Amino acid sequence: MKVKDKVIVVTGGGNGIGRELVLSLLRRGSQVAALDINGQALEQTKALADEAVRERLSLHTINIGDKEAVDLLPAQIIKRHGAVDAIINNAGIVQPFVKVNDLDLQVIERLCHVNFFGALYMIKAFLPHLLKRPSAHIVNVASMGGFIPIPGQSIYGATKAALKLLTEGLISELAGTPVDVSIVFPGAINTNILVNSGLELPRSTREKELRFRPMAAGKAANIIIDGMEKGKQRIFAGKDSMMLNLFYRISPGLASKLVARAMKSLLS
């Protein structure tokens, strides 16, 4: 599906990859409904867009983990833009870099509500409308943590693995319909996801993260949109994600050990 002149809903549009998705889609001629729990962050995204394209952007402050609020969205967005052609479930949060035994249950439940149920609520709310379009698209942003275990992010990875399998199920269920479905596996991306998840890490930990040479969020956003337009079902944003996927398929045990060794410093 070409994104020009299409109406696309983007969750997590106030920061990181979500913000860059909004800006890139606007540059490519889309109408965009940007969603985020942080209204001020959405206003900052709007301010970064060229003034000439801002009329094609609407802002919606919402907690996607609130099903009742999500259920009201399609009518609001269709009233503003006339239709909905695609949704990009990009919003997500990570957990503190601690082991499952040390992770508070409230944090676990929040991860599940945002990363999995939030995307599911969006799909359930918008899919009936997408099925009526000549062509439509659902994009779910998972993580390489959704196919390979990352110590200290076990629950985060579990939510992304659930999103992965949900997406793959949708690909099968929606075959033969106007709705294409894609799953995205970002590698290390330079975003503020830790801060936006309510976490504060020591500077030394942030410096350790940067050693992994994260990809710029804007580049990741363009990879995702290009993948949409090409109809790719699996989109890898970053060579690290692509190579780890291949390595894990060949030798799951060895790949997991190497990732655990590389991430050990973030847990210490």
DSSP per-residue string spanning 31-67? EEEEEES-HHHHHHHHHHS-GGGGGGEEEEE--TT-H
Nearest to 259 by CA among 214, 196, 212, 191: 212
Q: How many CA atoms, within 13 angstroms, populate the side-chain half-sphere of residue 214?
A: 17
242 part of a folded domain: yes
* Total domains in the fold of the chain: 1
Long-range contacts of 53-56 (CB under 8 A, 24+ apart): 53/26, 53/27, 56/26, 56/30, 56/31, 56/32
pLDDT band, residue 63 (cuts 50/70/90): very high
Q: How many CB atoms lie within 10 A of CB 125?
A: 21
Task: Judge whether 248 counts as a catalytic residue.
Answer: no
Query: Sign of dihedral through CA atoms 192, 65, 75, 60?
Result: negative
2 part of a folded domain: no
Is the per-residue pLDDT at 198 higher than 60?
no
- Residue-level pLDDT at 268: 55
For the chain, counts of helices (H) and of strands (E): 11, 9
Per the structure block, which two tokens stand in for 86? 């695609």
95 part of a folded domain: yes
- Residue-level pLDDT at 191: 72
Q: Strand 57-61: give its sheet, edge to edge.
A: 57-61, 31-36, 7-11, 86-89, 136-141, 179-186, 234-237
Q: What is the pTM of this model?
A: 0.90
- Residue-level pLDDT at 204: 46
- Domain of residue 78: give its range: 7-267
Given the residues 116, 117, 156, 248, select the one marked as catalytic: 156
176 part of a folded domain: yes
Q: 150: Cβ–Cβ under 8 A, 6 or more apart, which residues?
A: 144, 156, 157, 259, 263
Is the per-residue pLDDT at 122 higher than 50?
yes
Higher pLDDT, 265 or 131: 131
Per the structure block, which two tokens stand in for 187? 């590698």
Is the per-residue pLDDT at 230 higher than 80?
yes
Region 133-154 average pLDDT = 96
Q: Identify the three-state secondary structure at position 211.
A: coil
- The DSSP bridge partners found for residue 88 are 10, 139
Mean pLDDT score of the chain: 92
99 part of a folded domain: yes
155 part of a folded domain: yes
Tell me the CA distances in angstroms from 38 to 53, 183, 254, one per residue in order. 22, 25, 40
- Residue-level pLDDT at 208: 47
Is the per-residue pLDDT at 107 higher than 70?
yes
Query: Parallel, antiparallel, or unpaired for β 215-216 and 136-141?
Result: unpaired
262 part of a folded domain: yes
CATH number for the domain including 143? 3.40.50.720
1 part of a folded domain: no
